[in-house]
C-alpha cells in the first residue's frame, strides 16, 4: 500500500460531539392540555438548531462550488436533471393531414439542443393519399432509436380537428389538442420548457387559452383575438417576456395551421419571422410553399379522378347494349354543347338497366322502394351484384340527404334534423347536439380480412368498442377498416358521413349491420345519425329505426 496526498483541502474543521445527547420529546400521544405541554424554550432551541444546520449546509455548498470553479468544472446547479439522463420517453402523436401539428417539429428542435431525440413519421391506412412533404414533416434524427432519451412517433390519421397524444397504450388514454400536448411536454421536461416553475405561469396560461380560442374561432373573430397579442409584442420580444416560451410555440403553430402568415400586424409579422428562424432555420417560407403545392396536388388529383371516372363510364357504355350506346352518343353531343349534366340525366331516365337503380330521382324513389320491399333479400343481393352499374354511374344513382328525407316522409318516418358545421369525429360533433336526446351513434365501415365480407358497425357514442371482441361475437375472422373507395361504392358516402341510413344505397345487401343492442331494443326513445352528409344530424324514433332496417332488408346482428 502507498499513501495518497489529499487532492484538496477546504481548511474546514467539523466539530463532532463526543457523547450522546438528548432532546425533549416534542411529539406526544396525550392532548396538549392533559399534562403533555411542550416547554416553549425547547421549541425555540430546536428552531435555533435547525437554523444553524441550514446555515452550515449553505457554507458547505458555497465552498464546494468555489472549489469546482477553481478546478474548471461545471457547477452541479447547472447540470441536467437526472430525469433526462435516465428516463426514456416513447411518445406517439396522431394527427390529421389537413391539420398538421406544427408545434411538434419546433419542440423536437428545442429539445434536441439538450438531449438525444429520435423522431419518425408513419401514415395510417385511413389516409390513402398523403402529400409527399408530410413524410418529412419532422426533423431528421441524428441518433439511433436505441440511443435516444426521447422517442417521438407521428402518425398521420384522420382524427378530426384536434391531434392526440397517447399517454398510456394499455388504458388507451389520450391528451387531445395541440396546446395541451405542449403543456404535457413542458411538464415532462420542466428544466427545458419553462411553465409551472416560473412566476408568470398565469400569463402563459392566458396566452395558451388565447391560442386555443384562435384555433376554434370563426374567420371574422380571429383579428380581435390577435390584436392584444400584437400589443403585447410591441412591449416585449416574445409573448411572455424576452425569452422564447411554449406560448410562442403554440401561437406559431396556430398561425401556420390557419394560414394567417400574410394577414398579420407588423408586430406579429416581425415576431413570426424571428420564431421561424429560431425553430426552422429559415424554413418557414419553404413550408408555406409546400402548403400551396399540397393544394395544387389535391386539385390535380381530383381532376385526374374525374377524367378516369369519365373514361371508365365511356368504356362501360361501349360494352353495354345498343340502347346504352345511343345514350352515350347523346351524352357526347351534349357535352360538346356544354350540357353534360342534362345529357347524363337523360341517359339515366331512358336506360332500362339504370332506371331500376336510380334513387336520385324523387319521382321514382318511392317506386324503387316498393320494388325492393316486394323482392326477397337473396334475389335482391344476386341482382345487385350482376347488374351493378359502373362506379361513375353508381355515384350519381346513390341517394343523398334530400332523397333520404323524402324516403322517410313516404314511409311515415318522422324525423328532426339539426344543421351544424362539417365534423369528422363524434367528439367534434357533440357540442352541436346538446339539445338532442336519446342515443347518438358512432359508426365504422369494416371488412373481414379473411372472408372479404363487409360490415357496418353502429354503437352509442359513449360505448367502448373493441374490434376483436366484436369479431368473436359475430363470428368474423379478423375485422379491419375498409378503404374509403369501397365505402363510397357500397354505401354512397364519404369519410365522416357513414351511418346506418346509408344502407339504403346498398342494393346488393352486401353489408351486414353490427348494431349496439341499445339502439334497437327500445331502451332509448330516439337515435341520431348523419343523413349521408356530416354537416347535419337526423333524429328518428327507435321504433322507426327498426322499421327502416326492415325496409332495407339487411342482415342485422346485435352485440
DSSP string of 343-373, one letter each residue: HHHHHHHH-HHHHTT--SSHHHHHHHHHHHH
Q: What is the pTM of this model?
A: 0.39
Listed by start position, the domains of the chain span 79-193, 398-558
Q: In a 3-state reduction of DSSP, which class is residue 335?
A: helix
Q: Which grid coordinates belong to 61? A: 455548498
Strand partners, 537: 418
Per-residue pLDDT of the chain (559 residues; tens, 9 = 90+): 677 776 666 666 767 777 776 666 666 555 444 445 677 888 888 888 888 999 899 899 888 888 877 776 655 554 444 444 445 678 899 999 988 988 899 888 888 888 889 999 999 888 888 888 888 888 888 888 888 888 899 999 988 888 999 876 566 678 889 999 998 888 888 877 777 654 567 788 888 888 888 888 888 888 888 888 888 888 888 888 778 888 888 898 889 888 888 888 888 888 888 888 887 653 433 333 343 444 454 565 566 666 666 666 665 555 444 444 334 444 444 444 444 444 444 434 443 333 333 433 444 344 344 333 333 333 333 333 333 443 333 334 788 999 999 999 999 999 999 998 888 888 888 888 888 889 999 999 998 888 888 999 999 988 888 888 888 877 777 888 888 888 998 899 988 899 999 999 998 888 999 998 889 888 899 999 999 999 999 999 999 999 999 898 888 888 8
Question: In angstroms, rounded to a whole number, what is the distance separating the alpha carbons of residues 272 and 233?
Answer: 11
Question: In angstroms, rounded to a whole number, what is the distance separating the alpha carbons of residues 16 and 436?
Answer: 77
For the 398-558 domain, the top CATH level (class) is alpha beta
Q: Which grid coordinates belong to 306? A: 374525374
- The CATH number of 79-193, from 3.30.420.10, 3.60.21.10, 1.20.1050.130, 1.10.230.10, is 1.20.1050.130
Asked, colleague to colleague, whether 79-193 and 398-558 share their fold, the answer is no
Amino acid at each position: 500500500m502507498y499513501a495518497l496526498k489529499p487532492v484538496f483541502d477546504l481548511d474546514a474543521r467539523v466539530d463532532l460531539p463526543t457523547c450522546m445527547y438528548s432532546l425533549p420529546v416534542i411529539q406526544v400521544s396525550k392532548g396538549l392540555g392533559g399534562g403533555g405541554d411542550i416547554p416553549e424554550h425547547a421549541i425555540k432551541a430546536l428552531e435555533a438548531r435547525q437554523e444553524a444546520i441550514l446555515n452550515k449546509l449553505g457554507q458547505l455548498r458555497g465552498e464546494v462550488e468555489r472549489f469546482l470553479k477553481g478546478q474548471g468544472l461545471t457547477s452541479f446547479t447547472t447540470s441536467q436533471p437526472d430525469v433526462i439522463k435516465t428516463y426514456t420517453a416513447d411518445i406517439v402523436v396522431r394527427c390529421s393531414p389537413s391539420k398538421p401539428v406544427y408545434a411538434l417539429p419546433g419542440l423536437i428542435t428545442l429539445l434536441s439542443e439538450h438531449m438525444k431525440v429520435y423522431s419518425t413519421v408513419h401514415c395510417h391506412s385511413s389516409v390513402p393519399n398523403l402529400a409527399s412533404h408530410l413524410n418529412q414533416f419532422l426533423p431528421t434524427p441524428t441518433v439511433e432509436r436505441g440511443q435516444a432519451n426521447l422517442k417521438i412517433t407521428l402518425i398521420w390519421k384522420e382524427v378530426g380537428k384536434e391531434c392526440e397524444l397517447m399517454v398510456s397504450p394499455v388504458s388507451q388514454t389520450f391528451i387531445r389538442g395541440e396546446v395541451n400536448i405542449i403543456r404535457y411536454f413542458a411538464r415532462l421536461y420542466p428544466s427545458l420548457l419553462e411553465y409551472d416553475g416560473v412566476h408568470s405561469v398565469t400569463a402563459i396560461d392566458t396566452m395558451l387559452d388565447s391560442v386555443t380560442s384562435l384555433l376554434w374561432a370563426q374567420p371574422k373573430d380571429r383579428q380581435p383575438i390577435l390584436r392584444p397579442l400584437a400589443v403585447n409584442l410591441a412591449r416585449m420580444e416574445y409573448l411572455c417576456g424576452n425569452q422564447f416560451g411554449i406560448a410562442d410555440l403554440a401561437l406559431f403553430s396556430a398561425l401556420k395551421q390557419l394560414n394567417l402568415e400574410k394577414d398579420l400586424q407588423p408586430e406579429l409579422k416581425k415576431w413570426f419571422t424571428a420564431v421561424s428562424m429560431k425553430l426552422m432555420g429559415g424554413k418557414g417560407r419553404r413550408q408555406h410553399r409546400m402548403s400551396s403545392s399540397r393544394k395544387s396536388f389535391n386539385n390535380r388529383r381530383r381532376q385526374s379522378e374525374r377524367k378516369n371516372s369519365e373514361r371508365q363510364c365511356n368504356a362501360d357504355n361501349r360494352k353495354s347494349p345498343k340502347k346504352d350506346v345511343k345514350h352515350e352518343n347523346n351524352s357526347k353531343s351534349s357535352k360538346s354543347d356544354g350540357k353534360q349534366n342534362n345529357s347524363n340525366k337523360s341517359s339515366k331516365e331512358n336506360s332500362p338497366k339504370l332506371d331500376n337503380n336510380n334513387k336520385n330521382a324523387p319521382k321514382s324513389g318511392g317506386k324503387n322502394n316498393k320494388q325492393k320491399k316486394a323482392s326477397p333479400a337473396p334475389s335482391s343481393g344476386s341482382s345487385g351484384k350482376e347488374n351493378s352499374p359502373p362506379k361513375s354511374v353508381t355515384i350519381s344513382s346513390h341517394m343523398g340527404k334530400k332523397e333520404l328525407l323524402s324516403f322517410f316522409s313516404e314511409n311515415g318516418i318522422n324525423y328532426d334534423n339539426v344543421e351544424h358545421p362539417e365534423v369528422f369525429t363524434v367528439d367534434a360533433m357533440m357540442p352541436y347536439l346538446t339539445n338532442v336526446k336519446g342515443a347518438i351513434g358512432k359508426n365504422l365501415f369494416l371488412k373481414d380480412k379473411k372472408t372479404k365480407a363487409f360490415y357496418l358497425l353502429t354503437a352509442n357514442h359513449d360505448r367502448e368498442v373493441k374490434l376483436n371482441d366484436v369479431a368473436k361475437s359475430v363470428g368474423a375472422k379478423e375485422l379491419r377498416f375498409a378503404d374509403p373507395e369501397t365505402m363510397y361504392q357500397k354505401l354512397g358516402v364519404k369519410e365522416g358521413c357513414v351511418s346506418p341510413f346509408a344502407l339504403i344505397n346498398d342494393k346488393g345487401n352486401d353489408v351486414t349491420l353490427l348494431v349496439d343492442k341499445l339502439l334497437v331494443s327500445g331502451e332509448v326513445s330516439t337515435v341520431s345519425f348523419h343523413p349521408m352528409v356530416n354537416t347535419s344530424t337526423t333524429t328518428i324514433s327507435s321504433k322507426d329505426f327498426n322499421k327502416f332496417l326492415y325496409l332495407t332488408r339487411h342482415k342485422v346482428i346485435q352485440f
